[in-house]
Amino acid sequence: MTADAQLSPWTITRTSGTPQGPLLAEIRELAARAAEADGNPPLSEQTLVNLRSSAPGAARVMLFTARPRAGSGGDAGDDAELAGVAVVSLPPGGAPDAGQEAAVLELVVAPDARAEGAGSALAAAVAAEKVPGLRAWSHGNHAAAAALAARHGFRPVRELWRMRQTRAADAELVPSPALPDKVRLRTFVPGQDEQLWLEANRSAFAHHPEQGSTTLADLQARMAEDWFDPGGFFLAEDTETSRLLGFHWTKVHAGTGAHPPLGEVYVVGVTPEAQGRGLGKALTVAGIEYLHRRGLQAIMLYVDADNTAAVALYRRLGFTRWDVDVMYAGGEDTPSL
């Protein structure tokens, strides 16, 4: 079902559920243009997965699109070029209850449609839904996003750093991986290791707001992506029991325009029983070596700014802070953004 609201000079359309193919293609193209202009992807990978997935148990999506309305200098209605989009990902079952994962908003405006009110119109449409406990990501924390959040009474509650390492830094600082005793390394086998990995991931990220809730549908969606390579998905297992103790899933971002290909320390996890043995560092180094063998000259990763132990480890491995994503939230008396 859709509902239109005329917010001059934009037509805002609200849609519930997974968007159809042509609209999804428009959203991806808009996100790609914004990423090229800003140097930051405006929509997270999880949001893109949510937009594609209608599987049972998947996050439910509310989608808001902005297009020029009639008389505003462009074609009106669905034939007008997409100027902006806001995506609210709700936990399965709808709005979050106490203890559930929060609803998350991401919003992007086309580079050639900025400073014309599209972002404010989209934010107003989202606010009208009064989604409880709504959080909002600002990837790169651009000044316009910070100002929009402040106008709606939202404050920063989380910083996610992007750190970057060049091959020159790796040559000087990264040691050879040294696995703990009775631990061996192998790579992920599709069709065999999905449930093993999901169990280890839940254990390793039991208190993480996003990673620990990864489902089989989420995993399969990522395995279907062009970038997925099981040869870069490392598993550490006990040599006596074959129990999975940790993992390092790497990723390669294809080059676009002026941006060369970029490696990523995508996910590193160690189960509680295997922590404190140096396994996380060994897995991280093994993945970095793999990415460099593929010819990648730079590698990035995401880490929570308040995870001081991880930040210190990555600094020792030659990573430096590159950029920051900021999550915003309102107080109990703040209207939803």
Asked if the structure places residue 169 within a domain, the reply is: no
**Domain for residue 133, yes or no?**
yes
User: Is there a single domain that holds both residue 131 and residue 203?
Assistant: no
**183 and 231 share one domain:** yes
24-51 average pLDDT score: 90
182-225 pLDDT, tens per residue?
Answer: 999 999 999 999 999 999 999 999 887 678 778 898 899 899 99
Number of domain units in the chain? 2
Does residue 133 sit in the same domain as residue 224?
Answer: no
Residue 26: per-residue pLDDT: 94
On whether residue 167 sits in a domain, the answer given is no
Residues 308 and 180 grouped into a single domain: yes
Whether the Cβ atoms of residue 131 and residue 290 lie closer than 8 Å to each other: no
8 and 155 in a single domain? The answer is yes
**Omega of the bond leading into 9 within 30 degrees of 0 (cis):** yes
| Angle value at C-alpha 144, between 142 and 150, nearest 5 degrees | 105
Task: Report the amino acid identity of residue 120.
Answer: S
Give the residue numbers of the binding site for acetyl-CoA.
107-109, 268-270, 275-281
Question: Got the DSSP string for 206-255?
Answer: TT-SSGGG--HHHHHHHHTSTT--GGGEEEEEETTT--EEEEEEEEEEPP
Amino acid 134: pLDDT: 92
Residue 7 has pLDDT above 50, yes or no: no
Closest CA to 280 of 208, 204, 215: 204
The model's pTM is 0.80
Say yes or no: 154 and 278 in one domain. Answer: no
> Quick check: 271 pLDDT over 60?
yes
**DSSP assignment of 292-310:** HHTT-SEEEEEEETT-HHH
- 138-188 residue pLDDT tens: 999 888 889 989 988 899 999 999 999 987 656 556 667 789 999 999 999
Residues 6+ apart with CB under 8 A from 225: none
Q: What is the pLDDT of residue 178?
A: 85
Last residue of a domain, one of 124, 139, 161: 161
Confidence of residue 1 (pLDDT cuts 50, 70, 90): very low
What is the rounded CA–CA span in Å between residue 78 and residue 298? 41
d(CA 80, CA 83): 9
Residue 331 in domain:
no
Average pLDDT score, the chain: 86
Task: List pLDDT tens digits, range 55-97.
Answer: 555 568 899 999 998 665 555 555 689 999 999 998 765 554 4
Note whether residue 26 is domain-resident.
yes
CA distance 289 to 302: 18
Same domain, 106 and 199: no
Same domain, 217 and 94: no
Same domain for 187 and 145, yes or no, is: no
Report if residue 121 sits inside a domain.
Answer: yes
* C-alpha to C-alpha distance for 185 and 195, rounded to whole angstroms: 18
Last residue of a domain, one of 161, 195, 226: 161
Residue 267 is part of a domain; what is its CATH number? 3.40.630.30
Same domain, 87 and 205: no
Q: Is the Cα dihedral 110, 111, 113, 118 positive or negative?
A: positive
Assess whether 137 and 192 both reside in one domain.
no
Q: Using CB atoms within 10 A of its CB, is residue 82 exposed (0-12), middle (13-18) or buried (19+)?
A: middle
Instruction: Report in angstroms the alpha-carbon separations of 321 from 44, 159, 324.
Output: 19, 12, 8
- The binding site comprises 45, 107-109, 210, 251, 264, 268-270, 275-281, 302
Q: Which two tokens stand for residue 272?
A: 């509680």
Residue 323 domain-assigned (yes or no): no
Can you give the residue range of the structural domain that contains 279?
175-317
Same domain, 211 and 90: no
Please check whether residue 325 lies inside any domain of the structure: no
Q: How many residues does the chain have?
A: 337
How far from 126 is each of 50, 121, 204, 271, CA to CA, in Å? 18, 9, 34, 38
